Amino acid sequence: MPRIVRFHKTGDAEVLELEDMPLTEPGQGEVRLKVAAIGLNRAEILFRQGLYLEAPQLPSLIGYEAAGVVDALGPGVSDVTIGDRVSTIPSFSMGKYGVYGESAIVPASAVAPYPDGLTAIEGAAIWMQYLTAYGALVEHGQMRPEHTVLITAASSSVGLAAIQITKQIGALAVATTRGPAKKDFLLAAGADHVIVTEKEDLVQQVRELTDGRGADIIFDPVAGPFLEKLAQAAAPGAVIFEYGALSLAPTPYPLFEALGKGLAVRGYTLFEIVKQPAMLAAGKQFVYAGLQAGALQPVIDSTFTLDQIAAAHRHMESNQQKGKIVVTV
């Protein structure tokens, strides 16, 4: 029997349990994967805590991203074959189709081949980070080479993806990090400038880098009171994408900055892209092209084994990671 991660109550990382479960067959429109690697995401921390957009129905599966080999097909599946080497696109209910485990069943529409030049570990680190950043910066933000893009919490996998995509387009990538420990790493990762927010004035630094104009696109997973600073650092007509709530504090709307500058402050999630077939197809094409050209390259922070799933979650919660945390199976 495959080992599957489930949790029977919400809480800290210790609620995650590795259980022997019967091997099940995929249903209509579904495929089964023999999982080789699992990519961790902040959404799974929130889901485990009961703080995510989707509430878990206990006992619950968990997990959005996995890479593996298709080993069974459900009825009605015609565009996937047994033996395909694929990774999962987060477009499904985590509680119903969670991928933490040795075997996972997911909708056939949620799997896509990953390039032959990537390992399974890298294959599990593609879709969440690149499609999240692509959707905000390229699809909705219409990023152009003359833009300045402010990327906060930039050492996360999505933050690093945003840096890579910004440089692929040719825009100016300004990254932020709270402390100085990650500054050199972010510069090496491609950021044109790095602002250490505990030591430097964010608004002043952005204005100096842009001749007083401010950032044209701001890509932020923190929210909370930090949004006021971001609005002050924004250029006239800028758009601020809030794609997370790491702060967990209330997020006051920066009304006067928004009025004075004509700002757009919008919530954004990956699901805006993956639920629209045309947008998803364009996003996949963009990511494949970037991977092939070498402009996009998943950055792996560390790997854990499935037995270490709780430790992997604790590492993510420590905020010390630089890139993607992957669990090997």
Assess if residue 182 is contained within a domain.
yes
**Are residues 87 and 184 located together in one domain of the fold?**
no
The residue among 90, 94, 30, 35 whose CA lies nearest residue 65 is: 90
Output the pLDDT for position 248. Answer: 84
**Are residues 97 and 20 located together in one domain of the fold?**
yes
**Are residues 135 and 267 located together in one domain of the fold?**
yes
* Spatial distance between the Cα atoms of 95 and 179, rounded to a whole number of angstroms: 35
**Are residues 111 and 208 located together in one domain of the fold?**
no
**Are residues 78 and 58 located together in one domain of the fold?**
yes
Assess if residue 279 is contained within a domain.
no
Output the pLDDT for position 56. Answer: 97
CATH of the domain at 101: 3.90.180.10
* Spatial distance between the Cα atoms of 107 and 40, rounded to a whole number of angstroms: 19
Output the pLDDT for position 84. Answer: 98
Q: Which of 225, 255, 271 is the last residue of a domain?
A: 271
Assess if residue 277 is contained within a domain.
no
Q: Which of 256, 271, 286 is the last residue of a domain?
A: 271
Nearby residues of 259 by Cβ (< 8 Å), 6 or more positions away = none
Domain count, the chain: 2
**Are residues 220 and 261 located together in one domain of the fold?**
yes
**Are residues 227 and 154 located together in one domain of the fold?**
yes
**Tokens, residue 144:** 């152009």
Output the pLDDT for position 237. Answer: 98
Assess if residue 281 is contained within a domain.
no
**Are residues 117 and 137 located together in one domain of the fold?**
no
Assess if residue 197 is contained within a domain.
yes
- Residue by residue, pLDDT tens for the chain (329 residues) are 999 999 999 999 999 999 999 999 999 999 999 999 999 999 999 999 999 989 999 999 999 999 999 999 999 999 999 999 999 999 999 999 999 999 999 999 999 999 999 999 999 999 999 999 999 999 999 999 999 999 999 999 999 999 999 999 999 999 999 999 999 999 999 999 999 999 999 999 999 999 999 999 999 999 999 999 999 999 999 999 999 988 989 999 999 999 999 999 999 999 999 999 999 999 999 999 999 999 999 999 999 999 999 999 999 999 899 999 999 99
* Spatial distance between the Cα atoms of 102 and 320, rounded to a whole number of angstroms: 27
Assess if residue 63 is contained within a domain.
yes
**Are residues 90 and 169 located together in one domain of the fold?**
no
**Are residues 226 and 322 located together in one domain of the fold?**
no
CATH of the domain at 173: 3.40.50.720
Express each pLDDT in 270-329 by its tens digit.
999 999 999 999 999 999 999 999 999 999 999 999 999 999 999 999 989 999 999 999
Assess if residue 253 is contained within a domain.
yes
Domain of residue 258 covers 128-271
**Are residues 62 and 159 located together in one domain of the fold?**
no
**Are residues 153 and 227 located together in one domain of the fold?**
yes
Q: Which of 227, 255, 271 is the last residue of a domain?
A: 271
Express each pLDDT in 31-61 by its tens digit.
999 999 999 999 999 999 999 989 999 999 9
Assess if residue 286 is contained within a domain.
no
